[in-house]
Structure 1
Amino acid sequence: MTSADTLIEALLSEAHETAENIIQDAERTVQNTLEEQRNKGREFARERVISIEKKAQNDSMIIKLRDKT
């Protein structure tokens, strides 16, 4: 092997390692984004359920008050 071949091999190896790091970073970013979106979705769903429960309780109270009059 010539010194040029050795240099090319070293550069290719470094490029491969850099590409692997970029891929791993991208995968982590995607996972973090998905988890963040899941958490936001869960929080939104929880807030909606609480809102619906409160409305149902209010409607129930109104019905009870109407029945008393």
Structure 2
Amino acid sequence: MLMTLRLSDEEADALRHRADRESRSMQDVARQAVREYVENHSRAELLDQVLDEELPRYAEALERLGQCST
């Protein structure tokens, strides 16, 4: 899929600097950043979903543990 990415001058300069430091293209660095962003947020959403589904099941035990430590 073809996409145009508009960056501010500061963003473009930062991307160019990072790409130069890594001897990579700006496109390669930007694509990796998008992959990492999607992966990290997908993981966080999955963790939130699991916690929402499983925490109520253990709520009473967690409450008791909290009372023991005080």
TM-score range normalised by the length of the shorter chain: 0.3 to 0.5
Q: Which has the larger radius of gyration?
A: 1
Q: When the two structures are superposed, what TM-score results if normalisation uses the length of structure 1?
A: 0.48
Structure (1/2) with the larger helix percentage:
1
TM-score, length-scaled by structure 2: 0.47
Higher RCO by CA contacts (8 Å cutoff, separation 6 or greater): 2
